[in-house]
Amino acid sequence: MALKRLDNVGIVVDDLEGTIDFFRELGLDLEGRATIEGEWAGRVTGLGDQRVEIAMMRTPDGHGRLELSRFLTPPAVADHRNAPVNALGYLRVMFAVDDIDDTLERLLKRGAQLVGEVVLYKDVYRLCYIRGPEGLLIGLAQELG
Separation in Å, CA 73 to CA 42, 47, 49, 66: 11, 9, 7, 21
Identify the pLDDT of residue 46. 86
CATH architecture, domain defined by 9-73: Roll (3.10)
Identify the pLDDT of residue 109. 96
Report how far residue 45's alpha carbon sits from residue 34's, in angstroms, rounded to the nearest whole number: 17
How many helices and strands in the chain, by DSSP H and E? 3, 9
Q: Tell me how long the chain is.
A: 145
What is the tens place of the pLDDT at every residue in 101-116? 999 999 999 999 999 9
The answer on pLDDT for 81 being more than 80 is: no
Average pLDDT over every residue of 57-86: 89
Domain ranges, ordered by start, for the chain = 9-73, 93-143
Identify the pLDDT of residue 32. 97
What's the predicted TM-score (pTM) here?
0.89
What is the tens place of the pLDDT at every residue in 32-56? 999 999 888 888 888 888 999 999 9
Report how far residue 29's alpha carbon sits from residue 51's, in angstroms, rounded to the nearest whole number: 24
The 10 Å Cβ neighbour count of residue 127 is: 17
Identify the pLDDT of residue 84. 81
Average per-residue pLDDT for the chain: 92
| Cβ proximity of 47 and 106 under 8 Å | no
CATH architecture, domain defined by 93-143: Roll (3.10)
| Nearest residue to 79 (alpha-carbon basis) of 138, 136, 8 | 136
* Domain pair 9-73 / 93-143, same fold: yes
Average pLDDT over every residue of 6-31: 95
